[in-house]
Structure 1
Amino acid sequence: MTNEKSDRQTVLTAPQLRLIGSVDEAMYAEFRNQLSAAPTEGPLVIALTTLGGNPEIARAMADDVRLLRDAGRTIYFLGKASVYSAGATFMAGFPVKCRFLTKDTTLMVHERQIAKTINLSGPLRSCTAQLKAALNEIEQSIAIEEAGFRAFVEGSDVEFEELQRRAPDNWYIGCEKALDLGLITEII
């Protein structure tokens, strides 16, 4: 094992941030608290285990990571056990060279979902506006999803179109397959 790989392995086995549970406001608060308590120099490792949650919070966390990377910080993602749904959205915020999974970890990627009831009532023009607003929300969510899918596969052997095709059926990807597809750099 090279010194760089050995040093990285040592860093990865002692994450400074450990996040477990639903990606929600509580996880974001915990993420920010752990981040503020973490060392300000050297590589930073964020370990995550999640069955999913709010994709917008995952995007906000990933943006915090991007800002730190843009400032010159090396930050690694370490997925443990399950990295589902919003967890994969967060992972997409890291370049492939900074993505790692522990043995037997599974990724799961799916389409964004919506549950909405639209009750039309009132003047017809207001009904049209309500429908247009719902359509705008869906179209914007699709655009955000596509940007996230592109980030997830960037630098890997997976084509964007393949992810689009597989996501509606909840694409489960074991760590070995993720490595084969170039979605991660190593299994530890």
Structure 2
Amino acid sequence: MDQQDKNDLLAAPQLRLIGSVDEAMYAEFRNQLSAAPTDGPLVIAITTLGGNPEVARAMADDVRLLREAGRDIYFLGKAAVYSAGATFMAGFPVENRYFTRGSSILLHERQIAKTIQLNGPLKSCIDQLKAALNEIEHSIDIEEMGFRDIVEGSEVDFEEVRKKAPDNWYIACEDAAERGIIAGVI
């Protein structure tokens, strides 16, 4: 496919998602996906300030399954692809990721807000603390797996993401294209 054909394809996405990555977006994603043509390339456009990373992972997994079944699927980031939006983008290979001019990506660490109230026998308090620590460590493992998926095939290495993510790493689409995180800007 030449560049003009690719631009024409990307200019008319079959799925358009905007807003928070949550259960409502996932339902809309599934509805639009079921109404989309079942053959030929598929373009999914998204604009999001973020949301639930587990919903984003589920959406990315749906994309992976379709790709493994032989479907060409393209990602089109528009305006902002922040946080959970980048998690969704990680489900697409670099060569199928595109952004519109002026768009940006935000990569950051997962957040937690949790109050732990210890109450009961001391040994049960240790178990409560261990459970909270296990949750945090598991979430870090998932986060790092997502960071690795985002940079796979690019010039950005995992350590750079780990270093910059704690401070909210905003990446302009032109820089993302130059560093190979996305295939191009349209």
Q: Please indicate, yes or no, whether the TM-score normalized by the shorter chain is above 0.5.
A: yes
In structure 2, what residue type is equivalent to 1:172?
Y
Give 2:57's match in structure 1, choosing from 41, 56, 59. Answer: 59
* Cα deviation, residue 10, structure 1: 1.0
* Cα deviation, residue 4, structure 1: 2.2
In structure 1, what residue type is equivalent to 2:8?
T
Q: Distance in 2 between the 1:130 and 1:46 partners?
A: 42
- The answer for the alignment partner of 1:103 in structure 2 is 101
- The answer for the alignment partner of 1:82 in structure 2 is 80
Gaps of 5+ in 2: none
* Cα deviation, residue 6, structure 1: 1.7
In structure 1, what residue type is equivalent to 2:72?
T
Q: Give the match's secondary structure for 1:157.
A: coil
Give 1:173's match in structure 2, choosing from 171, 183, 186. Answer: 171
Q: Distance in 2 between the 1:125 and 1:32 partners?
A: 46
Give 1:93's match in structure 2, choosing from 72, 91, 94. Answer: 91
Indicate the percent of aligned positions where both proteins have the same amino acid. 73
1:41-86 CA distance string (max 9 Å, x none): 0000000000000000000000000000000000000000000000
In structure 2, what residue type is equivalent to 1:174?
A
Give 2:14's match in structure 1, choosing from 13, 16, 24. Answer: 16
Q: Give the match's secondary structure for 2:120.
A: coil
* Cα deviation, residue 24, structure 1: 0.2
Q: Distance in 2 between the 1:116 and 1:29 partners?
A: 28
129-138 vs 5-14, greater mean Cα deviation = 5-14
* Mapping 1:1-188, distance limit 5 Å: 4-188=2-186
Q: Distance in 1 between the 2:45 and 2:27 partners?
A: 15
Q: Distance in 1 between the 2:146 and 2:19 partners?
A: 21
Gaps of 5+ in 1: none
* Cα deviation, residue 125, structure 1: 1.2
Aligned length: 186
1:4-46 CA distance string (max 9 Å, x none): 2221111100000000000000000000000000000000000
Q: Distance in 2 between the 1:164 and 1:127 partners?
A: 32
In structure 2, what residue type is equivalent to 1:132?
K
Q: Distance in 1 between the 2:168 and 2:151 partners?
A: 16
Q: Distance in 2 between the 1:149 and 1:46 partners?
A: 21
In structure 1, what residue type is equivalent to 2:67?
R
Q: Distance in 2 between the 1:125 and 1:41 partners?
A: 58
| CA RMSD across the alignment | 0.6
